[in-house]
Structure 1
Amino acid sequence: MSQSDMPLSGPSRRQILAGAAGTGLLSVLPRGVFAQGAGPEVKKAILGYIALTDAAPLIVAREKGFFAKHGMPEVDVQKQASWGTTRDNLELGSAGGGIDGAHILTPMPYLMTTGKITKTPGGVPMSILSRLNTQGQGIMLAKAHKDLKIGLDTAPLKERFAQLKAGGKEVKVAVTFPGGTHDCWMRYWLAAGGVDPDKDCQTIVVPPPQMVANAKVGNMEAYCVGEPWPLQTVNQDVGYCAITTGELWKNHPEKSFALRTEFVEKYLKATGALLAAVLEAAQWCDRDENKDEMCAILAKREWFKVPVEDILDRSKGKFDLGVRSFENKDLMQKYWRDAASYPFVSHDLWFLVEDMRWGYLPTTLDTKALLGKVNREDLWREAAKAIGVAAADVPASPSRGKETFFDGVTFDPANPMAYLEGLKIKKLVG
């Protein structure tokens, strides 16, 4: 595959990744969307979430009154059964009995916009307004593999999986949605150790809240999911945690806050109000003094319905993985610190390239155009300014620059083709 076969380079793409907002590739809303005195056009929006701690900014914005503060007291935050349900309800929109926006796996708005995962011909345009968190996911292994004490090195799993297959067992690893973040982490982790996720095992989809129950009955050898389910796995002695994903890629992007583009275009001021509320909630969630209250809120029956003990430790940077324990606040889930809330365009590009790697997207995809449609980091900047975020705390560029993974592999957003070509295990489609 030649460089021209994959239009990820060129001056225009470099501009979007290296320049400031408003290069012309990002459609910028009219100024004044966040102006004082310009109230939202509507008081209500329906937002979806899944019972994962990275939904905290949406839940806290509702519980602590941040939505109401910004003129939207009737925001409804509704639990979704799975990422497939989230997609379906976003496709319907609130006018059709669905939802206007959601806590969502970062690649999903791109897969929806391209029509790869929607029933609607041509796709459902989506807009990413902010990142909800970085890191804080877990890759788990069944108790049967505890003797291997697998961590970052997955090489021993290749032989173990081969032995299971030779004995007639189907070797399954579970993720939460095809092409989603957990799928990316599982596949990267396995492939780094020489395990082909499409040949050496079978990848299946299990909704996050059902992971532990499926592990109990032996439905999979490994799974990747967000908290609180990894800690619950250890607490219930169902399996062990190989890694927390910050060990795979420090400060990696995870979930996003996204709205249907139709909502954004119709209700510009309401979009600004929602985004401002979510950013303030992210700041609140990331303050150490609020962690106990945050976890108590999430544990409630109406939100997660889990023991607060399944949430608390990981939210404070305390990691009992079942085979090793350590404390590292730099690896815990982050909502605001270290620019966790800002939706770097370079990170979205990595997800697009990784979905190309595994055949979910074609290598001929015009990533420049797609990023310009979906990523609205320009609105994040406006909202941050409106709520008084210091200029020093606003990233200078939509690119965080080169990223290095645990295995030494580097992703340079200025040359994604080199990254893709250098990966040994992949499944490309034209």
Structure 2
Amino acid sequence: MPKKPDRLSLSRQLSRRKFLLTAGATSVASILLKSCTGTPSSQTSASTASPAAVNVSTGISPETAKIRLGFLGITDMAPLAIAKEKGFFAKYGMGEVELIKQPGWAQTRDNLEIGSAGGGIDGAHYVNPYPETFSEGIGTKNNIKLPMYTLMRLNTHGNAITVARKYQDLALGKDSSPLLTGFERTKASGKKAQMAFAARQTNQDLWARYWLAAGGIDPDELLDTQVIPTPQIVAKLKTGDMDLFAGGEPSSKRALKDGVGYTAVLVSEMWKNHAEKVLTVRADWVDKHPKAAQAVVMALIEAQQWGDKPENKAELAQILAKREYVGVEPDLMIDRLTGKFEFGSGRSFDNPDLALKFWHGDGVSFSYPYQSLDRWFLLENIRWGYLPDTFDIDRVVKAVNREDIWREAAKALNIASAEIPQGTSRGVETFFDGIKYDPEKPSDYLKSLKIKRV
């Protein structure tokens, strides 16, 4: 078995994992401009008072009951809030979990770098591919490597692309091409259309780019981009200086309610059961507390199962409405939590299959951290020139992805075998425009894309 890479500071647990390289693996470069900016700022903590512990035999004894986890105030942080409010953290011996609300993804990065010992955080509800790039020293302070582990995925769906009200007559949907003429006219006048998202390289940036490119719009040629924390993004749209944004809910619903924009497309319409947020934790914390890491995953799995039950959606909206979590009225969240979609363009439908989900559906796990999905985010970063085409996707994903911890947690919970993936790949993915992503053929995927920087 190959030796573990010293430069990623991998743990003894990691050394036991397989490192078989695939034929489609590419090699690494380690340079990239810092992906998001921002300075450390104050953090808002959920109440540190833990629910009463539940007597339950879990078969594990966590090394600590404490961990500090960051999150953004958007609905897909729900598993963390559920685990806290319903007592699942305490049930599995993690009664002193502290949830720390972050102003943005950049501040989350800053606080991960500091770590809990310095007043920061140990892990977070976070976006891809930051666990991988941070582990390589890309996008971190002074490009210092910050080894991270991905322990699980927290959700699928719950994101949308919103356009300004001035494009109301276009009644946009999956097809972005009606925007092309207007964007070209704006560029000819000496300006560019404006697009916003919460962090470069990551989920929302990549969703918006994919949607635009599928309609023949080159986002780099025709748009300027702004990085704005998701909770603040609608306020920016109100100024009239923004044309579109991609973000997690309730941002799109807020824009619709405030009359400043409408939902063009759900990301779940672009890619059903798409990858979304992950739970990522500093590698040094997991290496020191492997049983506690498993206990956290166990608590969050139970939270995901609870959150997916239709009868719990109303209570979930009430939980998320608390100021320490999302902090908006339940009515702003409940429709899209249950699959009732009003787009503001004359389009509407009810489809619970496209709503925010956490655990399992359509025969696939939304919780298990498929390595094939991690690879897609890195491939898209290569596509747009954020990463060089020599980046060793296979090596880095295998170093960061700790699907073994998820499997141990699922085993301890007696999860049905049908709900435990047999392998680390989800297989071939098909997007709304007919493009297919085969994780075994990354080069073919990149070749199939018409607009790209690689």
Can you give the 5+ residue segments of structure 2 that lack an aligned partner in the other structure?
1-15, 21-56
**Counterpart Cα distance in 1 of 2:18 and 2:59:** 28
**Counterpart Cα distance in 2 of 1:345 and 1:244:** 24
Aligned residue in 2 for 1:407: 433
Tell me which amino acid in the other structure corresponds to 1:137.
N
The Cα offsets for residues 390-426 of structure 1, whole Å up to 9 and x where unpaired, read as 1111111111110111110000001010011221111
**Counterpart Cα distance in 2 of 1:390 and 1:291:** 24
Question: CA 1:75/1:367 → structure 2, altered by over 3 Å: closer, same or farther?
Answer: same
**Counterpart Cα distance in 2 of 1:330 and 1:72:** 32
| 2:410 corresponds to which of 368, 371, 384 | 384
More off after superposition, 38-47 vs 167-176: 167-176
Tell me which amino acid in the other structure corresponds to 2:99.
V
TM-score calculated relative to the size of structure 1: 0.91
| 2:378 corresponds to which of 348, 352, 356 | 352
Q: Indicate the SS of the match to 1:130.
A: strand
**Counterpart Cα distance in 2 of 1:325 and 1:113:** 42
Matches within 5 A, 1:231-380: 231-323=253-345, 324-338=347-361, 339-380=365-406
Offset, 1:38: 3.4
Q: Indicate the SS of the match to 2:96.
A: coil
| 2:244 corresponds to which of 218, 222, 227 | 222
Offset, 1:121: 4.0
**Counterpart Cα distance in 2 of 1:93 and 1:179:** 23
Tell me which amino acid in the other structure corresponds to 1:328.
N
Are residue 418 (structure 1) and residue 444 (structure 2) matched? yes
Q: Indicate the SS of the match to 1:75.
A: strand
**Counterpart Cα distance in 2 of 1:278 and 1:106:** 19
Q: Indicate the SS of the match to 1:182.
A: helix
**Counterpart Cα distance in 1 of 2:260 and 2:240:** 9
**Counterpart Cα distance in 1 of 2:403 and 2:162:** 33
Q: Indicate the SS of the match to 1:203.
A: strand
Count how many residue pairs are aligned between Structure 1 and Structure 2: 399
**Counterpart Cα distance in 1 of 2:449 and 2:418:** 36
Q: What is the Cα-based RMSD across aligned positions, in Å?
A: 1.4
Q: Indicate the SS of the match to 1:199.
A: helix
Q: Relative contact order (alpha carbons < 8 A, sep ≥ 6): 1 or 2 greater?
A: 1
Q: Indicate the SS of the match to 1:38.
A: coil
| 1:209 corresponds to which of 197, 208, 231 | 231
Are residue 195 (structure 1) and residue 217 (structure 2) matched? yes
Matches within 5 A, 1:157-196: 157-196=179-218
CA contact (8 A) 2:428 2:438 kept: yes
More off after superposition, 105-114 vs 261-270: 105-114
Q: Indicate the SS of the match to 2:357.
A: coil
Offset, 1:36: 4.4
**Counterpart Cα distance in 1 of 2:193 and 2:394:** 38
Offset, 1:154: 1.1
Offset, 1:168: 4.3
Aligned residue in 2 for 1:39: 61
**Counterpart Cα distance in 2 of 1:149 and 1:168:** 26
Aligned residue in 1 for 2:33: none
**Counterpart Cα distance in 2 of 1:155 and 1:81:** 34
Identity value in percent: 49
More off after superposition, 294-303 vs 168-177: 168-177
Offset, 1:131: 0.5
Question: CA 1:111/1:23 → structure 2, altered by over 3 Å: closer, same or farther?
Answer: closer
Tell me which amino acid in the other structure corresponds to 2:384.
W
**Counterpart Cα distance in 2 of 1:146 and 1:198:** 24
The Cα offsets for residues 335-388 of structure 1, whole Å up to 9 and x where unpaired, read as 012211111111111111001111111111111110111111111111011112
Aligned residue in 2 for 1:9: none
Offset, 1:238: 1.4
Offset, 1:120: 4.9
**Counterpart Cα distance in 1 of 2:142 and 2:198:** 22
Q: Indicate the SS of the match to 1:45.
A: strand
Aligned residue in 1 for 2:25: none
Tell me which amino acid in the other structure corresponds to 2:226.
I
Offset, 1:37: 4.5
Offset, 1:122: 3.9
